[in-house]
Amino acid sequence: MIGFSAISGVFGVALTFFLFDPKAIPGMWHFRMISILFRHLVWHRNRVVSAISSRRPASPSTVFRSHQTRTYCSTVEIDLNVHKSNSTFYADLDLSRLELLMTLFKDAITPLSPRATLASEHAFSRRNRRRPLIAALGGVACLFRREIKPYQKYEVVTRVLTWDEKWLYLVSYFVKPGGAKGSQIAEDKIFASAISRYVFKKGRQTVTPAEVMRHSGLLSDHTWPSDVDITARQRDHPDLPCQIFPHHSTTLEKMVDSWTWLDVEAERQRGLSFARSFSGFEGLQGLSVKNS
């Protein structure tokens, strides 16, 4: 039989290992996902982000504000090349994207939200009002630039890139600590970059990202006449917001900058050029389909 001292020794070694590498604890990813949901839906349930609310006004650039998640390369994430395995980047992306989605769209995608009943007649009709609105992941692409070594610390910075009639696109960057100032990132600090897209579903009905943003107070009802020069605005509009969403704070900073709703539209259209290239991957499935 295995002696008590041997069991104690194994337990001590395991405990020491997990203390120095908590990311390696079995179930830690699930715990972190649940804790994000619990924090937003229970602890900070009444904390909302809005660019048009009279109670807590913010800059129109709020929708492009980034969220930063700090982490490190765990021993369980190391591959045969002794650096962070490419496949493990996607687990970090799950956590970072969930933080941003819950921060921006909590009022729309959860029935627990105090403002969840404020719905438009079209997307949030009486027929579908009791059905939860979900954000379904529709694709991810990741480009790797530099290796992340064992136990090396890094940050995952995620923000809204753009949106169209169906998809909401998020862009994420894996960067060295301090390499990002809000949504502005130094290129030589980037380990990897990724683009993800989400579709909002209420039952079988697709809800446009613009409707969800208006419902969440992140987008106005402005429409732009055809003679507005968006191209010039893209060239001259202000930099992306430097402020980030606080990770464990009960209050949100008010953003004060020179952004207008026209700047938001210019940034959205600028991001669409990258999103269209990503959407072009949909044609790949046609390469292996035999025409009848």
- Cα distance between residue 123 and residue 129, in whole Å: 9
274 pLDDT above the threshold of 50: yes
- Cα distance between residue 158 and residue 247, in whole Å: 13
Structure confidence at residue 234 (pLDDT): 56
Structure confidence at residue 170 (pLDDT): 97
Which CATH fold would you assign to the domain 4-280? Answer: Thiol Ester Dehydrase; Chain A (3.10.129)
* Cβ pair 216, 200 in contact under 8 A: no
The whole-angstrom distance between residue 134's C-alpha and the CA centroid of its chain comes to: 14
Structure confidence at residue 118 (pLDDT): 41
pLDDT tier for residue 223 given thresholds of 50, 70 and 90: low
- Cα distance between residue 164 and residue 228, in whole Å: 19
Please report the DSSP string for 246-279 in residue order. Answer: -SS-SS-PPP--S--HHHHHHHHHHHHHHHHHHH
Structure confidence at residue 119 (pLDDT): 46
Tell me: the pLDDT tens digits for 6-50? 566 555 555 665 677 889 888 899 999 999 988 888 877 666 665
Q: Is 103 exposed, middle or buried (0-12, 13-18, 19+ CB in 10 A)?
A: buried
Q: What is the mean pLDDT of residues 182-199?
A: 88
The average confidence (pLDDT) of the chain is 78
Tell me: the pLDDT tens digits for 96-150? 999 999 989 887 776 544 444 444 445 555 555 566 788 999 999 999 999 999 9
DSSP letter at 183? T
